[in-house]
């Protein structure tokens, strides 16, 4: 387990050495960079939700490059670790944010095409990943229970 201050210089040295694995930051506990065999680097945080008895989890902040530099990734890691300290799971927050974005986009699409009132769009047909019309049943009785 390699440790050191994560900076551009240490990241370049770690990548050029041909080693794969994690480089953990000495200053910010839980912040690290993962280097793959191809040399690609991604910034990660490692945390536990619920104390020592819970398993460790890793969240990928992003790949090295624009917009993620060691400094910007460190700032994001601080923000995410504060959320973890407050008991908020960053993975669940990310899923929630993405689900809301999809709901908003699909809401505009369906409202414009069919004229429906918004409904829970995150309930998609498990077979073909399309909007399942059977979910509309409680909103509109005129629709047949089938998938688009």
pLDDT digits (tens, 9 = 90+) for 115-146: 444 555 555 555 555 555 555 454 444 444 45
Report the C-alpha gap between 71 and 146 in whole angstroms.
50
Residue 39 token pair: 């040399």
> What's residue 39's pLDDT?
87
CB atoms within 10 A of CB 63: 13
Residue 41 CA, chain-centre distance (Å), reads: 17
CATH superfamily, domain 2-87, is Integrase, DNA-binding domain (3.30.160.390)
Query: What is the spatial distance between Cα 128 and Cα 90, in angstroms, rounded to a whole number?
Result: 28
Note if the pTM is more than 0.85.
Answer: no
Residues whose CB is less than 8 angstroms from the CB of residue 129 and which lie 6 or more positions away in sequence, other chains included: none
Question: Quick one: which H or E segment has residue 48?
Answer: strand 41-48
Q: Which residue has the higher pLDDT, 57 or 106?
A: 57
Condensed to tens digits (0 to 9), the pLDDT of residues 32-84 reads 999 998 889 999 999 998 888 999 999 999 999 889 999 999 999 999 999 99
Q: Where are the domains of the chain?
A: 2-87, 92-138
Which helix (DSSP H) or strand (DSSP E) does residue 41 occupy?
strand 41-48
pLDDT of residue 132: 58
Q: What is the mean pLDDT of residues 101-115?
A: 68
């Amino acid at each position: 387990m390699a440790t050191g201050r994560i900076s551009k210089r240490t990241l370049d040295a770690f990548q050029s050495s041909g080693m794969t694995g994690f480089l953990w930051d000495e200053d910010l506990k839980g912040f690290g960079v993962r280097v793959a065999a191809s040399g690609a680097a991604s910034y990660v945080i490692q945390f536990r939700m619920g104390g020592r008895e819970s398993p460790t989890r890793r969240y990928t902040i992003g790949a090295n490059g624009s917009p993620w530099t060691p400094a910007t990734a460190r700032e994001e890691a601080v923000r995410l670790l504060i959320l973890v300290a407050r008991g908020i799971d960053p993975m669940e927050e990310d899923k929630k944010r993405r689900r809301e974005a999809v709901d908003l986009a699909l809401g505009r699409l369906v409202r414009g095409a069919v004229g429906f009132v918004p409904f829970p769009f995150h309930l998609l047909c498990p077979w073909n990943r399309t909007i399942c019309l059977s979910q509309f049943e409680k909103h509109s009785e005129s629709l047949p229970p089938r998938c688009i």
